[in-house]
Amino acid sequence: MSDSLYVCYKAETSGVSRTFFALSSSDAAERAKALGIDAEPGQIQRAPWGDRFSSRGSVPALLVLSRGFSVGCAECGALIESTGAAVLDSDDPYCSVACSKARDAKAQSLDSALKLGVERARELWPDAEIVNAVIIQGRPRIHFTYGRARHAFWFADADMVDISPTDKAEWLEFLGE
């Protein structure tokens, strides 16, 4: 049994056949629309063979394709209907080597943006303790503590540091202002 409440649905239209996860049949109709699938209510049905992947969020592309369904390219969104030119060896499917490489390059630049953000935080606040550094919606965010273990969050591409309003005096003191 999966611990996820989502179950697998399939939408079979004349144009596209996709699988996706939803909470209920009405939820499935909305999600199909959001995915750009123009399906009549009768064209959306349960696909129990995909249920065990619900906590993963997607059915493995090879399994989907082997059942005659399509998957969307994780980079450009193009529909992949056969294994042909597709790159399917990672978690996300890509329609071509070019798309897979484009994604790799993006991942690398995010990774270096993250490292740069951490370096910059260490320069700006040498006494801060960096707790975590993650990419959120494409932006590096550094979480650190200062003073008496107060928490601060900083998007490395912004000027503002997010601190609790009640910690303002301590923050200024920490900055030596």
Instruction: List contacts with Zn ion (CB under 5 A).
Output: 73, 75-76, 78, 95, 99
Rounded distance between C-alpha atoms, residue 40 and residue 55, angstroms:
27
CB of 96 to Zn ion, least distance (A): 6
Nearer to Zn ion, 31 or 103 (CB): 103
By beta-carbon proximity to Zn ion, the closer residue of 11 and 86 is 86
Q: Which is nearer to Zn ion, 37 or 87 (CB)?
A: 87
Whole-angstrom Cα distance, residue 24 to residue 46? Answer: 9
Q: How far is the CB of 70 from Zn ion (least distance, A)?
A: 13
Q: What angle do CA 92, 110, 56 make, to 5 degrees?
A: 30
Min. distance of Cβ 84 from Zn ion in angstroms?
A: 13
- Angle subtended at Cα 9 by Cα 56 and Cα 100, rounded to the nearest 5 degrees: 50
Task: Tally the C-alpha atoms within 13 A of residue 22's C-alpha that lie toward its C-beta.
Answer: 22
CB of 90 to Zn ion, least distance (A): 13
Considering beta carbons, is residue 16 or 22 the nearer one to Zn ion?
16
Contact 124, 138 (CB under 8 A): no
Is 11 or 87 the residue whose CB approaches Zn ion more closely? 87
Nearer CB in complex with Zn ion: 35/76: 76
Q: Give the count of beta carbons closer than 10 Å to the beta carbon of residue 116.
A: 12
At closest approach, how far in Å is the CB of 86 from Zn ion? Answer: 9
- The closest of 87, 67, 71 to 79, measured between CA atoms, is 71
Q: What's the maximum distance between 2 C-alpha atoms anywhere in the chain?
A: 66
Nearest distance in Å: CB 58, Zn ion: 16
**CA 64 to CA 74: how far, in whole Å?**
15
